[in-house]
Amino acid sequence: MTAVPERERALGDAGDQHAPRLTIGEVLAVLRDDFPDVTISKIRYLESEDLVHPQRTPSGYRKFSRADVSRLRYVLTAQRDHYLPLRVIKDHLDALDRGEPLPGTGSGSAPLPPASTEEGATAPLTAEQFARAAGLEPGQLADCVQFGLLTTDAEGRHPAADLPIARAAAGLARHGIEPRHLRVYRSAVEREAGLVEQLVAPVLRARSEEARTRATEKLQELAALSAQLHTALLETRLRDLLRP
């Protein structure tokens, strides 16, 4: 019997090598029901990060096995439901490839630890869980709290909704920008939030449900426009730096 390629062992089986392989478009169609936000670009990015390893035809087209699709499901679930960074997910997949227990567990199986409450709302994370999910060192996480970028509840836990902030801080830290340097971002956001509050607060206090709905929509639109303006201004300023 032909040996199963090493990279197809995780989350696959020996019969997978004989099954028809899928194009990237077909893989997207398979995953879309469970992961509506997934795109072809996302799948290509996960391949570039060495998380999935489709074969290539002589003309260069990707052909995905059932094991490849299972790996993608594992990665997308770990990101969406458990907030794991890609480097941690890769460690999990590498362990599964080798038939070893997942890091931090005593089992070689693929299930991930629960991260939600019974009501379906995401449960707060301990500092250790939050730091691991964000890709922050414990000291960096403590600095983020100290400088006002992140907050904790009375038990020292972090809301999962703050993970995007923490992951951005982790990414900036890799470029030498420490949490203490990021206070300027918080100050700017507080000023922007104050401006938006002046515009919508009177309507939010209205008793009419219709008025509150309109105010909520306006708040969301203002937040999106503010983020768009910030990004555009920053890109323009950085573009100026590159001019001769």
pLDDT of residue 120: 36
The Cα-based distances of 58 to 16, 25, 40, 47, 66 in angstroms read: 21, 18, 20, 18, 20
pLDDT tens, residue by residue, 184-217: 888 888 888 888 888 877 776 777 777 777 777 7
Instruction: Provide CB contacts within 8 A for 68, sequence distance 6+.
Output: 8, 27, 52, 53, 54
pLDDT tens, residue by residue, 76-95: 988 887 777 888 888 888 88
Contact 63, 20 (CB under 8 A): no
pLDDT of residue 19: 66
pLDDT of residue 54: 93
- The stretches in the chain having pLDDT less than 70 are 1-19, 101-122, 204, 244
Cα 165 to its chain centre, rounded Å, is 11
